[in-house]
Amino acid sequence: MRRLLRALETRALLIWLVGAGAVWGFVKIGGEVMEGEMGAFDRRILLALRNPANPSDPIGPRSFEESMRDMTALGGVTFLTLLTVTAALVLLLHGRWRRALIFAGTVICADISSEILKHVYDRPRPDLVPHGSYVYSQSFPSGHSTMAAATYLTLATIVASLEPRRATKVLAYVLALAVMVLVGFSRVYLGVHWPTDVLAGWCLGTGWAMVAWVLVSRFSAPEPARRP
């Protein structure tokens, strides 16, 4: 019992530390962006991913540029909507209605908060290089990065809560983190976001994923699995 209590206390402490770190990171980055202190850093990183002789040309072959467009789609509205609806329906069909509501609610809240904060900060998109993907909203925070972090990390949390094997739990989080990082990198590579937009989006999305983690930990135990 003591070991169980210590494990629960450690897990709760980890959740709150990560959540607090995500909130602090977003506020810190947002404050520096508003004060214009991150301009040099953003420009240096963005131009490092471009051909020095021709800033309109991203580094790497055309095939890599196309793969980055494919990767950025994994954080887009269309794909994440399909993923969210499909995952929620699968959970509902297996009687996991609480997890379905937590997952769908987290994705929706992350999207709404991202759109609100875009209007609050009202940061223009990068103008140093041509955009490699269509854009239609403000730059800060990155919506793709926010949604990728919130959606994939929350999905990994739900998978881990249902899977008894530790290796599978770890694999779920590793894959979620990999997709999250690649989506964010693709936004900078395609010139549609400043690096700090992506960092703030990761912080915001991770914060929502931590909320989902708390809810899944709180409500998953009493939820019995029903036969589909």
- Is residue 193 part of the annotated active site? The answer reads yes
The string of pLDDT tens digits covering residues 103-135 is 999 999 999 999 999 999 888 888 877 776 767
Beta bridge partners of 58: 50
19 — pLDDT class (breaks 50, 70, 90): low
Element (H, E) at 116: helix 97-121
- Is residue 119 part of the annotated active site? The answer reads no
The string of pLDDT tens digits covering residues 158-203 is 998 888 888 888 999 999 999 999 999 999 999 889 899 999 999 9
- Average of per-residue pLDDT across 75-95: 93
Enter the tokens of residue 28. Answer: 């810190």
**High-pLDDT (> 90) share of the chain, %:** 44
Enter the tokens of residue 19. Answer: 């959540």
Judged by average pLDDT, the poorest of 37-41, 69-73, 207-211 is 37-41
- CA nearest neighbour of 30 among 143, 119, 115, 121: 121
Say if residue 141 is preceded by a cis peptide, omega within 30 of 0.
yes
pLDDT over 70 at 76, yes or no: yes
pLDDT in the model for residue 13: 63
